[in-house]
Amino acid sequence: MPNQIFILENVVMKRQNNTLFIEDRNNDIKTYLPVLQVSEIFAIRGIDCEDSAIGLLAKNRIPLHVFNSFMYEGSWLPYHSIISGEVSIAQYKLLFDSERRIELGKELVRGACRLRCLVAGNWFPREKEKWEGLYLEELSNVNVNPKLYLPEIRDIITEIDNKRRAEKGLSKLNVQILKGVAKAAVAGAFSKLSLDPWIGILPDSKKKRCTLIEDFYFLLEPFFVDLFVEEIEGENLNLEELCDRVKLHFTSTCVREKRRDWSLRMLPVREGYGLISFFMGKAKYRAVRRVEMPKDVCE
Amino acid sequence: MFANEFDGVKVVKGTGESLGSVFYPSEVMLNPFEDVRRAQSLWFLDGYKRVVLVKCILKGTTNSYCIWMDVCGLRKTNLPEIIARAERDIDRIRSVREALGVEGNFHRSIFNFWQETWGDEWSFSGRNRMPPRDPINALLSYSYSIIYNLCVYPLQKVGLNSSLGFLHQPSRGRHSLALDMAELVKPILGDIPIWMLLSEGVLESDMFPVVGDGCYINKEAKKLLKEKMIHVVETVCGGKSSLLRGWPLKLWKRLDKLALGLRGILLGHRENVKWVFLNWRGGK
């Protein structure tokens, strides 16, 4: 099965013999990276990637996430992952209809608040109601006046998130790093979907973040970021250890269904499947349906 | 970094691949795709507008066949009549279904003309594919697939969703919009070079091995065709230019312009809905 690759040094990536060739000039290391065994690449200390290598990555639907000393800079994504004009048109039909988009936006905010309440309940069992109250108040505002509150909701919820994290005593730097990793992981999930990642659900007052990647990130951020930052808080990890822990965190099981279990890493893909079914008129969309706290966190 | 930039989004195409790549920044400052894709979907979903655009694609196709006619010196045949009849039919189109019928009839007439000219010599009895069963069909299929692949990247570069076509129904696994755009390019980059190669008599029957039901092209014929395609670009687009990814820079520029033209139509930046590969004035 293809794996996530974390590259910890600043390297040059080329296309050679129809596969990827990596050169670490500082340590004089040259190696091939078999393209069929890679699902996505995280270049933690930046990367100098040749045009032809980017093309090869796109052809094989491998996202390349570029970081600068662990600070996320962006991702090279295949322009089209799974080509499906029918899904695209169904997506546009719904998301360019302002009324239906608002209804879907309300559902997304409900899901986002639910996950945040789960995390807050786990962090502060005694003050569970206080935190739930804060999130649910915003959710009810959105339900009462969506046109007014939806464009601002991301900022409002993020403010409550910041307060919650401050009360838990989490390091701002760790949160910042993990936010980047989380966004990269969410962006990477779109290489397995036929959705257009650039056309999103939630309106944005600043008109910057109207992409489906930002929407999924907003929805799943508490699980990707909060649970992990809490886990590593106070530990003195080197870069290699940190990457191993991130990989491990991504494998936490968040949904147990009859047919299969879903890991955290695959949650955005699962949400994508849910949205595609909804866009194609096959099923109602319930954001983060049956998603629960990973067992290892509960224990 | 190492890519072309359009509206702040970097789109890069790997050598020889039809798939492009797009850079998603950590902080999206401007979504360059929202407006153009909204416009694209509006044109697609509005029955009237879609028919206008489909007619525009078909008119562009007949314009390209006029170029073929002039470059290959076919004005004194019955081709002008076939094209004029198709243009009259295009004006009467009221639905996409009708448009597909008109397009089918037009291409059938064109290939009948091919059959009249080359039928006996090359056993060409009309268009067939998957697999092509005679050398001319093999050449047409080969050149059309190259053209289709060439059209994907310029469309992606201007932010259009290449899987959402107007004449060709969107479906899984194909860039329908690239197929639409290829309709305008095929007569010039496909039909002209093949017609020239046939007229010059440089093709030999042993260049087309038959395997099972299909007729295939050997390396030599592929090379001849590519050279002729480049020659035609130089003839039609005005002079030689350096090669980029194996094709003349002038061709890339022309394709970029074509994609930009479609973007302009969809966004309403252009007053007239006219989409042509080249404004051609009777062989000049």
Q: Measured between beta carbons, which residues in chain B are less than 8 angstroms from residue A210?
A: 31, 34
**How far is B90 from B106, CA to CA, in rounded Å?**
10
Shortest alpha-carbon distance between residue B80 and chain A (Å): 36
Q: Measured between beta carbons, which residues in chain A are less than 8 angstroms from residue B12?
A: 51, 54-55, 76
**How far is B58 from B167, CA to CA, in rounded Å?**
9
| Cβ proximity of A265 and A252 under 8 Å | no
Residue contact B173–A84, C-beta within 8 A: yes
Section A47-59 average pLDDT: 87
Most confident stretch, A76-90, A224-238, B2-16, B19-33: A76-90
B interface test, pick of A92, A216, A218 with most B CB neighbours within 10 Å: A92
pLDDT computed for residue B14 by the predictor: 41
**How far is A299 from A49, CA to CA, in rounded Å?**
42
Q: Is A74 in the B-facing interface, judged by CB distances under 8 Å?
A: yes
CA-nearest of A259, B25, A213 to B8 is B25
pLDDT in tens, A95-126: 999 899 999 999 999 999 999 999 999 999 99
Q: Mean pLDDT score of chain A, rounded to an integer?
A: 89
Sheet with B4-6: strands ordered across? A3-7, A38-43, A64-68, A71-78, B20-25, B9-13, B4-6
The pLDDT of residue A32 is above 60: yes
Find the distance separating the first CA and the last CA of chain B, reported in whole Å.
41
pLDDT computed for residue B243 by the predictor: 85
**How far is B163 from B173, CA to CA, in rounded Å?**
8
Burial of A256 (0-12, 13-18, 19+ CB in 10 A): exposed
Shortest alpha-carbon distance between residue B202 and chain A (Å): 34
Of B14, B25, B42, the CB nearest to A55: B14
Q: Which two tokens stand for residue A245?
A: 């822990």
Most confident stretch, A50-54, A102-106, A236-240, A241-245: A102-106
Of A83, A96, A214, the CB nearest to B28: A214
Shortest alpha-carbon distance between residue B218 and chain A (Å): 23
Residue contact B31–A210, C-beta within 8 A: yes
Q: Write down the ipTM of this complex.
A: 0.89
- Residue of chain A whose Cα is closest to the Cα of B37: A92
The pLDDT of residue A164 is above 90: yes
Local confidence pLDDT in tens for the 284 residues of chain B: 223 333 334 444 443 343 578 888 888 777 778 889 999 999 999 999 999 999 999 999 999 999 999 999 998 899 999 999 999 999 999 999 999 999 999 999 999 999 999 888 888 888 888 899 899 999 999 999 999 999 998 998 888 999 999 999 998 888 999 999 999 999 999 999 999 999 999 989 899 988 888 899 999 999 999 999 999 999 888 888 888 888 999 999 999 999 999 999 999 876 678 898 888 765 44
Q: What is the dihedral of CA A64, A70, A73, A76, to 10 degrees?
A: 0
| Cβ proximity of B163 and B41 under 8 Å | no
pLDDT computed for residue B271 by the predictor: 66
- Residue of chain B whose Cα is closest to the Cα of A67: B26
pLDDT tier at A231, thresholds 50, 70, 90: confident
CA-nearest of A2, A5, A15, A84 to B12 is A15
pLDDT computed for residue A161 by the predictor: 95
pLDDT computed for residue B138 by the predictor: 94
Find the distance separating the first CA and the last CA of chain A, reported in whole Å.
29
Residue contact B45–A89, C-beta within 8 A: yes
Q: Is the model more confident about A87 or about B239?
A: A87
Of B15, B21, B31, the CB nearest to A77: B21
Q: Measured between beta carbons, which residues in chain A are less than 8 angstroms from residue B157?
A: none
pLDDT computed for residue B122 by the predictor: 86
Residue contact B163–A84, C-beta within 8 A: yes
Residue contact B37–A57, C-beta within 8 A: no
The pLDDT of residue A253 is above 70: yes
Q: Is A18 in the B-facing interface, judged by CB distances under 8 Å?
A: no
pLDDT in tens, A179-202: 999 999 999 999 999 999 999 999
Residue contact B171–A55, C-beta within 8 A: no
Q: Measured between beta carbons, which residues in chain A are less than 8 angstroms from residue B20?
A: 55, 58, 78-80
pLDDT computed for residue A299 by the predictor: 54
- Residue of chain A whose Cα is closest to the Cα of B20: A79
| Cβ proximity of A221 and A182 under 8 Å | yes
pLDDT in tens, B41-62: 999 999 999 999 999 999 999 9
Q: Is A79 in the B-facing interface, judged by CB distances under 8 Å?
A: yes
CA A116 to chain centre: 15
Selected residues 181-200 of chain A with any CB under 8 Å from a CB in chain B: 183, 187, 194, 196-199
User: How many C-beta atoms lie closer than 10 Å to residue A242's C-beta?
Assistant: 21
| DSSP string across B206-268 | GGS-EETTEE---HHHHHHHHHHHHHHHHHHHTS---EETTEEHHHHHHHHHHHHHHHHHHHT
Packed helices A85-95 and A267-279: angle between N→C axes, nearest 10 degrees: 80
Residue contact A85–B11, C-beta within 8 A: no
Q: Which two tokens stand for residue A5?
A: 């690759």
Shortest alpha-carbon distance between residue B259 and chain A (Å): 16
pLDDT exceeding 70 applies to what percent of chain A?
97
